[in-house]
Structure 1
Amino acid sequence: MRVITFNAQGIEQAAENGFFDWMVQQDADVICLQDLRAKEYQLDDERYHPEGYHPFFFDAWEDGYSGVAIYTRELPKAIMTGLGFELCDQHGRFIQADFEHVSVSSFFIPSGLKSEEAQAEKEAFMVDFLGHFNKTLRKRREFIFCGTTNIAHKTVDLSNWYANQTVSGFLQVERDWMAEIFDEMGYVDAFRQINKAERQFSWWPAYNRARKLNEGARLDYQIATANLRKTVKNAQIYRDQSFSEHAPIIIDYDIG
């Protein structure tokens, strides 16, 4: 099973930059998108409905804001939207597709960079989302959570990390949250399970040379339940084309 996750920063812009042309060439089974900045009724154009894929969307209430989607080659057994708390459900930040052997979700944790209020909202979301991760451990199936945490987990996941320790995205409280998921709960950072290389970033600031110089952060993850650890066969970040400030994460799992 090939799973791709990508933060579009506006699905219309990503489409104009060639994302869907690229996507249909990847032979992916599931593609998870975040930050659509569009509602489903605005996405009737055929370019948002590539042949061979079933699209599912979860909109934010506010126009031009957030939103997530999942594209699946196989028709899922069920689709779930939202997690039952306002910061997620009103802002369109979680959608899940259930298949025979695994559930795959697309999530989008808000950024806290704009203000102290934004950071407080981000941390409130993290508390509630952590509760969902905990509940998931009690379920008798496997899960892959795909999306943007807006957090760099370790120093290797952020360029110039020493100067960014007081900046949202690398605060100790955020890194502790990631550690609780991976170290205490036993979830798997699927990318790092197979790819140990340094300077593996999925996001670069908007200034002109950041991407070229590879001065960025790994803010996008595929978080898998522990039983999927040995199924990860390949993991890469696609950088050859630029569809947004983020790059697609491509991971292959040996799942029937």
Structure 2
Amino acid sequence: MASQPQTKPKGFKYVIEHMEEDDENTKALPEWVKLEYSHMLKLVGPQSTVHFTSLSASSIPPLISHLSAPSPVSSSGDPTIHLESTSKGHPTSLPILELLKSSSSSSSSSSSAEDREDRKAIPKERVCLLDPKAEKILSPEDADTFDVFLYGGILGDDPPRDRTKELRKLGFEGRHLGEKQMTTDTAVGVTKIVVEDQISLDKIPFTDFPTITFNKYESIEMPFRYVVDDKGEPILPPGMREHLKADLNRSIEDF
């Protein structure tokens, strides 16, 4: 009896509507933003892509270079994090509405049927806005309802600023990820776990406001919710611990 062909898992578009200011000196994205953005490529499923919209023209080339780097951000990082990043990560200066419309105009007669299907214009009702003020919580069933998950980043402000309100005005249906504030890469990772892995939010192991300890004298409390690994440690972007340590040292020197 012939075996049935396996169906390829559904891929989603994760869209980060960029709202963070560029670094004043470099005119590029701050280092911590780049670390979060590259982490997202590792977190989403193999058929999914991450789109960074509304970027400044000056920030796109260094971000592409960062996402395409052949080596990990740090020696302790996962060496596979940047593999295939050129196909999974898509920086653009277009805002979200233009991105949704431009999907149809990018197809060509030489494209495969699968590519043409992927490039069809995306209707607004297939877009889910991750909104802390949404009435409904994200659920595994939303994998059938939506094709795009939209984030008003950076989500991880402390104290939180309601940057999502600008996207809320555009009329997308919303879902929330619980009452605690998350970093944007954590929010993307949690969305992937729910819709791609079909694990409900209440089954995901979290830690709230973890303390990152560098040595017996230096530590920092992170004012966010994180997913934890099998050792109970918060999952941070590769290179973020080193960045936080360097930032802490700079703060002490400036004191």
Q: Identify whether the pair has TM-score above 0.5, normalized to the shorter chain.
A: no
TM-score bracket, normalised by the shorter chain, equals 0.3 to 0.5
TM-score (norm 2): 0.33
TM-score (norm 1): 0.32
Structure richer in strand, relative to its length:
1
